[in-house]
Structure 1
């Protein structure tokens, strides 16, 4: 069974993707940035962008029937890895006990105001 989850972001319909896809016991959350989808605004602070990104991911996971405790892999994408340490407090809050497999990449993002993009994979079968 495959189920598509949307956050309501205009990017999803403009580009043609889902915020998350549930396939069996797996939840794949697309690369997610720090936009507040209700206002389509984004902070210029990397720590606040990280916190908003995690709120966006948390909402997608919840709609999928999952939580951060189910996350088994996380990818961090940043145009400037020099900012990565600034994100650690927010990341520690949600992943500190979960400790998923993780990789950080330095990469250009789709717009200059984006300072972090996070993608996660969760597995529901471990419950």
Structure 2
């Protein structure tokens, strides 16, 4: 098992956890938020926040040896049911080519409008590993 504490270009975890854990051929990410460089720096628009959250996930997955196109499961946490339609618009832009399984729930979060975590497959090496 391999743990990734902080991927380049992302904020470090605010608690005792890893941003990602690699187990077997899967990458499990911790929930990501729309931070740009610090917890307080976030895009103004909700769609921008969704895009930034996926950009943060992409950085973590790349560090782990995977990518957004290798995601098999997404868990999305929104803070307002009205966010679902704009969330789905951006989600289709990013993952619409072959959408993974997904759970979306409405919750109360600390100072952010959404959080997303995922499970992805590692990208196979040329030698089949």
Q: Same fold (TM over 0.5)?
A: yes
More helix by share: 1
Distance in 1 of aligned mates of 2:39 and 2:26: 30
Q: 70-79 or 88-97, which moves further after superposition?
A: 88-97
Distance in 1 of aligned mates of 2:99 and 2:43: 27
Counterpart of 2:42?
42
Q: 84-93 or 59-68, which moves further after superposition?
A: 84-93
Counterpart of 1:97?
97
Counterpart of 1:9?
11
TM-score (norm 2): 0.84
TM-score (norm 1): 0.85
Q: RMSD between aligned alpha carbons? A: 2.1
Structure 2: give runs of 5+ residues left out of the alignment.
none
Provide runs of 4+ in structure 1 moved above 4 Å: none
- Is the partner of 1:31 in helix, strand or coil? coil
- CA distance 1:109–1:38, change in 2 (3 Å): closer
Structure 1: give runs of 5+ residues left out of the alignment.
none
